[in-house]
C-alpha cells in the first residue's frame, strides 16, 4: 500500500484535559497547540505531505462567549509563539472555512501566517477555522455558479475547500466516534481511526501506530 499523503484530524479533548488537570480551558487549547506541532513534525518525517486539522467549527460559535474569545485569541497566540518554529520546519500554512466571517484580529493573524509561509513547500498544515462540511458544500455550489460551470459528480470536489485532495487517514481523538460535520465531501474512502486519548495526550508514537495500522488495511475504493 502507498504511504498516506493527506491526514485529517479532529483534535478533540482539550477542554476535558484541562478540567482533568484543574486548569482553565484556555490552557487545554494551548497544550493542544504543542501537541499539534509535535504531530506536524512526526507526519512530515513519515512521508505525509499534508495535515488537515479541525480547529474551530461553525457550531463552536454556540459555546460560551469567554471560550469563543479565548479560542480567537489563541489564533494570535499561535502566530506570535509558534510561527517561527513552523517556518523553521518548512511548513506552509493554509486555512479553509468561512474566514471572511472571522473577527478582524483573527483574520490579521491568518493573513500573516499565509504571507510568511507561502513559499515553503516541504509540508502543508491546513487549519479548518469556522468550517462546516454543509457550509462547504453550499459554498461549492456558489463557486461553481459564479464560474458558470455545471456541477457533476466528477467535478464537484474541485469546488470544495480542499479541492480534489483525497483524505487517506481520518483521525479523531477524545473517544467520540463521530465525524462532526468535518470534510464530509472528501472522506468517502478515508480510513477512519478513533482513539480514547484526549488531544493534549496524543503523541508521536500514537500517530506512528495509526500509520502502521493503515499500512495493514486493504483499501478497495468500492471495487
Residues 6+ apart with CB under 8 A from 2: none
Distance (Å, rounded) from C-alpha 58 to C-alpha 132?
A: 5
Residue 29 grid coordinates? 487549547
Is 76 a residue of the active site? no
Is 60 a residue of the active site? yes
Residues 6+ apart with CB under 8 A from 199: 11, 12, 13, 14, 17, 32, 35, 173, 174
Question: In degrees rounded to 5, what are phi and psi of residue 8?
Answer: -110, 145
Catalytic residue among 60, 73, 139, 203: 60
Catalytic residue among 12, 14, 165, 168: 12
Q: What is residue 218's DSSP assignment?
A: P
Placement of cell 478540567 in the chain = 19
Q: Closest Cα partner for 31 from 204, 182, 199? A: 199
Distance (Å, rounded) from C-alpha 57 to C-alpha 107?
A: 16
- 169-172 vs 191-194, strand pairing mode: parallel
Q: Which residues are catalytic?
A: 12, 60
Amino acid at each position: 500500500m502507498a504511504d498516506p499523503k493527506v491526514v485529517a484530524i479532529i483534535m478533540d479533548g482539550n477542554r476535558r484535559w484541562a478540567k482533568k488537570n484543574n486548569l482553565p480551558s484556555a490552557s487545554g487549547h494551548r497544550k493542544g497547540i504543542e501537541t499539534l506541532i509535535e504531530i506536524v513534525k512526526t507526519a512530515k518525517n513519515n512521508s505525509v505531505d499534508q495535515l488537515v486539522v479541525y480547529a474551530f467549527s461553525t457550531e463552536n460559535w454556540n459555546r460560551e462567549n469567554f471560550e469563543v474569545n479565548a479560542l480567537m485569541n489563541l489564533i494570535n497566540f499561535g502566530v506570535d509563539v509558534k510561527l517561527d518554529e513552523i517556518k523553521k520546519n518548512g511548513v506552509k500554512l493554509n486555512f479553509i472555512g468561512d474566514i471572511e466571517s472571522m473577527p478582524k484580529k483573527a483574520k490579521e493573524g491568518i493573513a500573516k501566517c499565509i504571507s510568511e509561509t507561502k513559499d515553503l513547500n516541504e509540508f502543508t498544515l491546513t487549519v479548518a477555522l469556522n468550517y462546516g462540511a454543509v457550509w462547504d458544500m453550499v459554498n461549492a455550489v456558489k463557486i461553481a455558479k459564479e464560474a458558470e460551470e455545471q456541477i457533476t459528480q466528477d467535478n464537484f470536489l474541485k469546488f470544495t475547500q480542499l479541492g480534489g485532495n483525497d483524505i487517506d487517514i481520518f483521525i479523531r481523538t477524545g473517544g467520540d466516534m463521530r465525524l462532526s460535520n468535518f470534510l464530509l465531501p472528501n472522506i468517502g474512502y478515508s480510513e477512519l481511526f478513533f482513539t480514547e486519548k484526549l488531544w493534549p495526550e496524543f503523541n508521536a508514537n500514537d500517530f506512528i501506530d495509526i500509520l502502521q495500522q493503515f499500512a495493514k488495511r486493504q483499501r478497495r475504493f468500492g471495487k
